[in-house]
Amino acid sequence: MSRWPLWAVLAPGEPAQLESRALAIAMPDWEEEDGDEPPFEVIPGSGRYHAIVGVDPIDIGAEMQIAKALSLECDEPVYSIERANDPWTVMSWRSGAPDVLEVSPDGLAKSLGSPLPGGGKPLNHAAATPLRHVALVEGVRAYEAHRALEDDYGRPLPPGRYHLEDTPRGLRVSSGTGDIGFADVNLSERLPNATVYGVMASPGLDVFVVNRLEGGECIGQFAQPPREDSFMPVVSDIKGESSPERILAALGIPAEWFR
C-alpha cells in the first residue's frame, strides 16, 4: 500500500475470509465484476491476526463497523484503529462491545504479528493534516448530553474534554483537541430521539464529510469529494445545502473552526 493507512482492523482468521466478510459487512452491494477495487486492503500477518487497512478519510468509521461485526463471530478480541486524528483511537471489541485502549496502534499490531504499513509516521500530506471533528445535535440540551457522555465514559468527564454549547440550531459539540472522537456516535446511541450531524473536515474544507446519525446508525453521508463506493448511505445535501460552507452555516458551525 503506497499511502499511510488512516484506519485498520486487526482480526483473527484467514485473510481471504476476512476480506470477504469485511466487504459483506461494509459494502454488501460491492461486486468484483463491476471492476471496482475494494476500498481497503487485507495484509496477512505472521500468526492468527491479520490487518484490514484503509487510506481514505471518507471511510473512517468503517473500522468500527467491521470490528464490531467480526467480534460477534469469534472468541478472540478484534481491534479497531483510527489514525486520522491525534490522539489515535484504539478499541478492543468482544461480542460486539467496545473498550477503548490506551496503547500504541503500531505496538499492538506488532505484538499480534500483524504490523501496520508505514510505521509510526504519516507518509503523505493527507495523513499529516488531521481532520477536525465536531458535531451538531438536535433535540438535546447540554446537560443531557453531558450526562449521556459521562454514562458512556463510566466516570466524570475530565475538564475540557468536550465543549457543549446550546445554540438556536441545536447543541454544538467540540473539543480543545479538534477531535470529539466517537462522541457523536455515542450521543446518537444513548439519546435515541436526537438527530446528530457529525462533521469531519480538513483545513480549507477540501475534505469534508457529514454523517447524519440516528439511533447510533448513519442514515446519510455527505462527502466532498464524493464517493460512490461509500460504506454509508450517500446523500447529495445536508439541510438542502450542497457546499461545505453553506452546510456549516445551516448547522450553525463556524467554518473558522476548520481553518
d(CA 180, CA 257): 13
The residues, ordered by sequence, that sit 6+ positions from 242 with a Cβ below 8 Å of its Cβ are 222, 236
φ, ψ of residue 54 to 5 degrees: the values are -135, 155
Residue, of 6 and 166, whose pLDDT is higher = 166
Last-in-domain residue among 90, 107, 126: 126
Task: Examine the domain organization and report whether 55 and 153 are in the same domain.
Answer: no
Q: Select, from the ranges 116-120, 171-175, 181-185, the one with the highest average predicted confidence (pLDDT).
A: 171-175
Is 207 inside any structural domain?
Answer: yes
Last-in-domain residue among 87, 107, 126: 126
Task: Examine the domain organization and report whether 104 and 148 are in the same domain.
Answer: no
Using DSSP bridges, classify how beta strands 89-94 and 97-101 pair: parallel, antiparallel or unpaired.
antiparallel
d(CA 68, CA 27): 15
Predicted model pTM: 0.65
Domain total of the chain: 2
Q: Select, from the ranges 109-118, 185-194, 199-208, 239-248, the one with the highest average predicted confidence (pLDDT).
A: 239-248
Last-in-domain residue among 111, 126, 141: 126
Residue 137 has pLDDT above 90, yes or no: yes
Residue 33 has pLDDT above 60, yes or no: no
Task: Examine the domain organization and report whether 135 and 122 are in the same domain.
Answer: no
Strands (E), 18-150: 41-43, 49-54, 78-82, 89-94, 97-101, 132-138
Cell of 4: 499511510
Mapping DSSP to helix (H, G, I), strand (E, B) and coil, where does residue 136 land? strand
Helix (H) or strand (E) holding 247: helix 244-251
Task: Examine the domain organization and report whether 193 and 152 are in the same domain.
Answer: yes
Mean pLDDT across 131-150: 93
Is 84 inside any structural domain?
Answer: yes
Q: In the prediction, which pLDDT does 180 show?
A: 87
- The domain in which residue 30 lies consists of 7-126
Strands (E), the chain: 7-12, 41-43, 49-54, 78-82, 89-94, 97-101, 132-138, 163-167, 170-174, 195-201, 208-214, 217-224
Using DSSP bridges, classify how beta strands 49-54 and 78-82 pair: parallel, antiparallel or unpaired.
unpaired
Q: In the prediction, which pLDDT does 129 show?
A: 53
Q: How far is CA 208 from the centre of its chain?
A: 13
d(CA 21, CA 132): 30
Task: Examine the domain organization and report whether 140 and 104 are in the same domain.
Answer: no
d(CA 100, CA 111): 18
Cell of 35: 471492476
Q: In the prediction, which pLDDT does 122 show?
A: 43
Task: Examine the domain organization and report whether 120 and 61 are in the same domain.
Answer: yes
Lowest-confidence range among 20-34, 167-181, 226-240?
A: 20-34
Task: Examine the domain organization and report whether 136 and 254 are in the same domain.
Answer: yes
Mean pLDDT across 85-104: 83
Average pLDDT, the chain: 85
Which residues on adjacent β-strands are paired with residue 42?
52
Task: Examine the domain organization and report whether 141 and 43 are in the same domain.
Answer: no
By CB neighbour count within 10 A (0-12 exposed, 13-18 middle, 19+ buried), where does 37 fall? Answer: exposed
Calculate ∠ Cα 23-25-31, nearest 5°.
35
pLDDT in tens, 41-70: 999 999 999 999 987 766 777 888 899 999
Task: Examine the domain organization and report whether 189 and 99 are in the same domain.
Answer: no
Above pLDDT 90, what percent of the chain? 49
- Quickly state the pLDDT bin for 99 (edges 50, 70, 90): confident
Using DSSP bridges, classify how beta strands 217-224 and 170-174 pair: parallel, antiparallel or unpaired.
unpaired
Q: Select, from the ranges 56-65, 66-75, 88-97, the one with the highest average predicted confidence (pLDDT).
A: 66-75
Mean pLDDT across 174-197: 88
Residue 144 has pLDDT above 80, yes or no: yes
Q: In the prediction, which pLDDT does 126 show?
A: 41
CB 1 within 8 A of CB 43: yes
